[in-house]
Amino acid sequence: MAFGNVEVIIDIHGDPSAGIFEFTDRLELKWDLDEYPDERERIRVILQEAWAELYDDGGIDVRFGDECPDCQGVGYHKPSCPLDQVDIELT
- Residue 56, domain member (yes or no): yes
Q: How far is CA 71 from CA 3, 74, 78, 79, 90, in A?
A: 26, 9, 6, 9, 12
pLDDT-derived band of residue 26, with 50, 70 and 90 as boundaries?
very high
Q: How high is the pLDDT of residue 68?
A: 76
Our CA angle for 81, 32, 45, nearest 5°, is: 65
For residues 34-47, one letter each, b for 16 or more C-beta atoms within 10 angstroms of the residue's C-beta and e for the rest, the string is eeeeeebeebbeeb
The structural domain count of the chain equals: 1
Domain extent at residue 57: 4-85
pLDDT, tens digit (0-9, with 9 covering 90-100), for 49-83: 999 998 877 689 999 888 877 776 666 666 777 66
5 has a pLDDT exceeding 80: yes
Q: Which residues contact 33 (CB under 8 A, 6 or more apart)?
A: 6, 39, 40, 43, 64, 66
- Residue 8, domain member (yes or no): yes
Q: How high is the pLDDT of residue 32?
A: 80
Q: How high is the pLDDT of residue 50?
A: 94
